[in-house]
Amino acid sequence: MSTSGGGRTRPTLVGTVLDGRYRVGAVIARGGMSTVYRGMDLRLDRPVAIKVMKSSFASDPSFLTRFEREARTAAGLAHRGVVAVYDQGRDGDIVFLVMELVDGGTLRDLMRQSGALSVPVTLSILEPLLAALGAAHAGGLVHRDVKPENVLISSKGEVKVADFGLVRAISSQTMATGDVILGTVAYLSPEQVSTGASDPRSDVYSAGIVAYEMLTGHTPYLGDNAISVAYQHVHSDVPPVTDDAPGVPVELDDLILAATRRDPFARPRDASAFLSALVSMRARLGLARAVVPVPRVAAPAGRPTGTAGRSAATSIRTPAQQTRLTDHPTVGPAGPTGTRMVPGVGAGTVDLRSAVPPEPDQPGPIVRRRTPSRLRRWLIVAVIVLLLGTAAAVGGWWLGSGRWAYAPAVVNVEQQKAETLVRNAGLVPHVSTEPSDTVPQGTVAGSRPATGARMLRGSEVDLVVSTGRPVVPAITAGSTVAQAVLTIKDADLNPVYGEATDEYSSTVPVGAVITTDPPPDTTLPLAADVTIVRSKGPAPVPVPDVAGKAGDDAKNALIVAGFTVAADKDVFDPDVDPGSITGTDPAAGQLVPAGSAVALVVATSLEVPVVRGESLDAAAADLRRSGFVVTVGPSAYDGDVDGGLVIGTDPAAGVRVDPANPAVTLTGSNAVSVPDVTRGNVQQAKDQLSALGLQTAVSAMFGASGSSVIGQDPSAGSRVEPGSTVRVSAFP
């Protein structure tokens, strides 16, 4: 028989089959709300973990509704770092949840066997923990009970987060009832303790506490009971990890401190943001990854929160002893120093109401004592009365005015003295800094709350300490203007810049920052202007005159002057020979930044060759080979050139033309060579001359067609214009 949380008993479930599907095996662990069994899914033939709720909860309709809703919510969270929820159901009066079975152990087991963990191992556990929580936060879920018992390490070294059974949608109610806080006190965030509210930043806080414990081997707050630990969460800052673990990198220490700020808005917004900062820090520091050790305590780890039996997660330690708040319920009295768990509150819950020590179950052995003398008896009574009176007085004082303190006057007081005044008033100083034009450096410029304000003892007083007037920060030469602007603004000064203040620099790229005006370390009033001096690049130098130089000489002259030589620039110039260097681009004497590219200006032209007397076809071919574009114009008469031959060009021979427009027009001769017509008669002469486009005039006493031609003018071989008249003389 097994005992349920409500005090009733039910037959053992081992060997039974729930819902016709899940065979119940051995008990893995017991908790305040449930018992977890190893089981077998008969339908899928796979091992599972079965969480069976105690019968006192199973009969509560509102609890069942919330349980089913939370089971569906958890089942929808699919992530390799989260223990999967497979099913939930009810078999008669048995309410159960079916989960992934993870063989291995918990982070608590690992720390119990190894103590404080190394930085690489800590990061290798913390990163998958945050990844799993980040997936939950992205889905609108909050775990609310992050602790080493809920961080499982499989036999393969995989890290998984268990017990999302208490997870609720962020939009739903997140406040426990009465004065009972859901969760494990050593890892609760201040807002969970003070208001019961929780959001993703609450999980970030708890994960930060887990990281602190991995690196130091203990949680940050120690106390005689849960209430004192909860009080410290609300009223004290988590100390630096490096106080107990000097080898931890400062960057990691700062990140854990940021995650465990008392103000939720000062923490990373969710686990994904915490993880992103952690991964960036690891990359910056080059921290190696490590294989996560598998705990030697090989208990099956498919258990949710509160199923771990006795757990160091709720250990509250003092210098002389260690008092554990067990995660499982105590049936009957816990002994004279025990603490009863509140029925109906989940595993890991802490009852903040005072526990009444129960009577012992069995009377102690009878011990004979010597009867004290009457004087001794009266002394004892007197001491007891005195102690009771003192306790009553102190209690009355505390319940009356004793728990209150008043903020002291600390404005214009030196910081160290101001902190002493605050502590002497029963309060805690919290120092922040800001510049001031009027308050000397190291002196309190203001405080919150105001002087005389009534506060609970142990509350914080914010001291705003002056850092004096701002100082111009050092800006590294070559920084971007955007970087300089941010740095100057962070120093509470006003950055300005413009072309009028830009300077040349041979070492700082164009547009980058050279320096500031005033220079670094100059003390200025608040919000004073600081000019950012930007680089205009190297100072300009004049281009040398290389006109008329040979090509190599001209290039060397440019290189010596600090320029690079660009491709030549061809420019038509009819007055110099082609290939001559006539100048540069930019022109000689022009101021150009050193290192700029300068092109040599090279004269280019085409000279029209002499083709007079050549045939039109031959002349055209010669010109085209020289790069000219040739057209043939109308012919003209030239008595010195036979018809069909070139008499000239346009442009004329010897003229230089632009290669970009190399057009040349050929003019051919239309002269007609007069034939010899004196060997035939007049009619034959006419026919011969007419065929050449010439006219015939007969000058003879006898001009009959059959008359013989005895003379002609012009003479044979003469060149005449087309249509000219040839006069012939005939004889009968």
Q: What is the mean pLDDT of residues 438-463?
A: 91
Residue 358 has pLDDT above 50, yes or no: no
Residue 517 has pLDDT above 90, yes or no: yes
Query: At the top level of CATH, which class does the domain 404-466 belong to?
Result: alpha beta
Please say whether the dihedral angle defined by the alpha carbons of residues 72, 176, 334 and 146, taken in this order, is positive or negative: positive
Specify the higher pLDDT residue, 65 or 660: 660
Residue 56 is predicted with a pLDDT of 76
By mean pLDDT, which of 135-149, 155-169, 351-365 is the weakest? 351-365
Pairing type for strands 656-657 and 606-607 reads antiparallel
Tell me the CB-side half-sphere exposure of residue 249, using CA atoms within 13 A. Answer: 17
Strand partners, 515: 533
Which CATH number, 3.40.50.300, 3.90.1300.10, 3.90.226.10, 3.30.10.20, labels domain 481-534? 3.30.10.20
Q: Where in the chain is the domain with CATH 1.10.510.10?
A: 105-324
* Domain 2-100: assigned CATH number: 3.30.200.20
Residue 298 has pLDDT above 90, yes or no: no
Paired tokens of 213: 């414990």
Cα dihedral angle (72, 73, 77, 82), rounded to 10 degrees? -90
Identify the burial level of 459 via C-beta atoms within 10 angstroms of its C-beta, where 0-12 means exposed, 13-18 middle and 19 or more buried: middle
Paired tokens of 268: 């990373």
Give 34's contacts (C-beta < 8 A, 6+ positions apart). Answer: 51, 52, 53, 54, 304, 306, 307, 347
Please say whether the dihedral angle defined by the alpha carbons of residues 138, 143, 148 and 150, taken in this order, is positive or negative: negative
**Contact in structure between 447 and 464 (CB atoms under 8 Å):** yes
Residue 335 is predicted with a pLDDT of 32
**Pick from 16, 87, 2, 97: nearest CA to 303:** 97
**Pick from 543, 507, 519, 424: nearest CA to 471:** 519
Strand partners, 591: 542
Specify the higher pLDDT residue, 335 or 260: 260
Cα dihedral angle (269, 267, 121, 84), rounded to 10 degrees? -40
**Contact in structure between 89 and 75 (CB atoms under 8 Å):** no
Phi-psi region of 104 (alpha: psi -120 to 50; beta: other; left: phi over 0): left
Identify the burial level of 651 via C-beta atoms within 10 angstroms of its C-beta, where 0-12 means exposed, 13-18 middle and 19 or more buried: middle
Split at pLDDT 50, 70, 90, the class of 383 is low
Catalytic entry in 145, 270, 351, 638:
145
Give 503's contacts (C-beta < 8 A, 6+ positions apart). Answer: 514, 533, 534, 535, 536
Query: At the top level of CATH, which class does the domain 540-604 belong to?
Result: alpha beta
**Pick from 647, 541, 654: nearest CA to 608:** 654
Split at pLDDT 50, 70, 90, the class of 379 is low
Residue 174 is predicted with a pLDDT of 35
CA distances from 89 to 11, 18, 70, 138, 387 (A): 19, 9, 12, 27, 58
**Contact in structure between 582 and 571 (CB atoms under 8 Å):** yes
Instruction: Give kind and range of the element (H or E) at residue 26.
Output: strand 22-30
Query: At the top level of CATH, which class does the domain 673-731 belong to?
Result: alpha beta
Q: What is the mean pLDDT of residues 331-336?
A: 31
**Contact in structure between 147 and 167 (CB atoms under 8 Å):** no
d(CA 236, CA 596): 64
Kindly report the backbone phi and psi dihedral angles of residue 500, in degrees, each rounded to the nearest multiple of 5, phi listed first: -65, -25
Residue 372 is predicted with a pLDDT of 45
Instruction: Give kind and range of the element (H or E) at residue 498.
Output: none
Residue 167 is predicted with a pLDDT of 44
d(CA 162, CA 149): 8
Residue 99 is predicted with a pLDDT of 93
Angle at 566 between CA 565 and CA 568, to 5 degrees: 110
Residue 304 has pLDDT above 50, yes or no: no
Instruction: Give kind and range of the element (H or E) at residue 138.
Output: helix 119-138
Q: What is the mean pLDDT of residues 429-448?
A: 93
Paired tokens of 241: 């990890």
Q: What is the mean pLDDT of residues 418-427?
A: 93
Q: What is the mean pLDDT of residues 570-575?
A: 91
User: CB 164: neighbour CB atoms within 10 A?
Assistant: 29
Give 151's contacts (C-beta < 8 A, 6+ positions apart). Answer: 106, 107, 108, 125, 129, 159, 160, 161, 162, 210
**Contact in structure between 32 and 329 (CB atoms under 8 Å):** yes
Q: What is the mean pLDDT of residues 131-139?
A: 93
Split at pLDDT 50, 70, 90, the class of 356 is very low
Q: 230-246, pLDDT tens digit by residue?
A: 889 999 999 999 999 98
Split at pLDDT 50, 70, 90, the class of 340 is very low
Q: 673-732, pLDDT tens digit by residue?
A: 999 999 889 999 999 999 999 999 988 555 567 788 889 999 999 999 999 999 998 887
Residue 225 is predicted with a pLDDT of 84
Residue 345 has pLDDT above 50, yes or no: no
Classify domain 607-670 at the CATH topology level: Trypsin Inhibitor V; Chain A (3.30.10)
d(CA 116, CA 47): 33
Q: What is the mean pLDDT of residues 523-539?
A: 94
Residue 377 is predicted with a pLDDT of 60
For 62-71, b where at least 16 C-beta lie within 10 A, e where not — what string? ebeeebeebb
Q: 11-29, pLDDT tens digit by residue?
A: 579 999 999 999 999 998 7
**Pick from 144, 133, 132, 136: nearest CA to 183:** 144
3-state class (DSSP) for residue 707: coil
Please say whether the dihedral angle defined by the alpha carbons of residues 166, 169, 171 and 172, taken in this order, is positive or negative: negative
Determine the residue type at 132: A
d(CA 139, CA 169): 8
Place of tokens 């080493």: 148
Residue 594 is predicted with a pLDDT of 82
Is 199 known to be catalytic? no
Residue 412 is predicted with a pLDDT of 93
Instruction: Give kind and range of the element (H or E) at residue 276.
Output: helix 271-285
What's the gap between Cα 614 and its chain centre? 80
d(CA 35, CA 216): 32
Residue 393 has pLDDT above 70, yes or no: no
Per-residue H/E/C for 38-99? EEEECCCCEEEEEEEECHHHHCCHHHHHHHHHHHHHHHCCCCCCECCEEEEEEECCEEEEEE
Q: Where in the chain is the domain with CATH 3.30.10.20?
A: 404-466, 481-534, 540-604, 607-670, 673-731
Which CATH number, 3.40.50.150, 3.30.360.10, 1.10.150.20, 1.10.510.10, labels domain 105-324? 1.10.510.10
Split at pLDDT 50, 70, 90, the class of 207 is very high
